[in-house]
Amino acid sequence: MVKVHYIFDPMCGWCFGATSLMAELAHHPEIELLLHPGGMMQRAPISVDFRQHILQADQRITAQTGQAFGEAYLKRVSSGAPLILDSYQTAQAIIAAEQVGIAAFEMLKAIQKAHYIDGKLVASEETLSELALQLGADQDAWQQAMQAASTKVDSQVANTRRLMEQYGQGGFPSLLVEQQGQMRSVRPSDFYGQSQRWKSFWQQVVNH
């Protein structure tokens, strides 16, 4: 089994663009995908100027990765509707998901879809709870897991940043492959729009 460390942020548009690539790894029988949240943004309302920056970046993401953004999301960003980004609360939900038997990557995908496709406010306990219940969580168990996860977010983000510094990773998304006691970096951006090449690359990795 090959361990692949995925350094990500739920509020990172490029991570959303890389979702189909990461799904290949998450579902690969010979790969264990380990998620490391990066804490890119603490809870913050997004200004009009920065919204324009986001929309321009989203166009580049679609052009390079082929990942489309939903109309509801684009409308929220381009309008005066509330837009709050919170890397910590969404990471907390991903940590909590594992405690109630939901795969971390599946919770990440649900958060990304809710935000980038459906235009929902994912910096909301109500929205995150709704997503967890849709994935099969029990309401009471979820609330307990979220409370427990609240004490773990900061340390996980700190661990991610140490990992990034140790192996020279400069941003999101980043991948580190752990194999035979060695760690090496793989750049997802080298494979955007090249799904077959991506599959072939990882088949070579697991057969090494």
Please give the backbone phi and psi of residue 152, each rounded to the nearest 5 degrees, phi first.
Answer: -110, -15
* Contact (CB, 8 A) for 113 and 69: no
Q: Find the radius of gyration of the CA atoms of the chain.
A: 17
Segment 31-55 shows an average pLDDT of 94
Q: How far apart are CA 114 and CA 129, in angstroms?
A: 12
C-alpha to C-alpha distance for 187 and 165, rounded to whole angstroms: 16
> In whole angstroms, what is the distance from residue 88 CA to residue 154 CA?
8
pLDDT digits (tens, 9 = 90+) for 140-176: 999 999 999 999 999 999 999 999 999 999 999 999 9
pLDDT at 56 over 90: yes
Q: Decide the pairing of beta strands 31-37 and 2-8.
A: parallel
> What pLDDT, on the 0 to 100 scale, is given for residue 48?
87
Where do the domains of the chain lie, and which CATH numbers do they carry?
Answer: 2-207 (3.40.30.10)
Q: What is the pLDDT of residue 82?
A: 85
pLDDT at residue 65, rounded to an integer: 98
Kindly state the DSSP code that residue 47 receives in the 8-state scheme. Answer: P
Average pLDDT value for residue range 55-65? 98
Count of H helices and E strands in the chain?
10, 6
Q: What mean pLDDT comes out for the span 107-111?
A: 99
Cα separation, 58 vs 51, whole angstroms:
10
- How large is the average pLDDT for residues 65-71? 98
Q: What is the pLDDT of residue 80?
A: 81
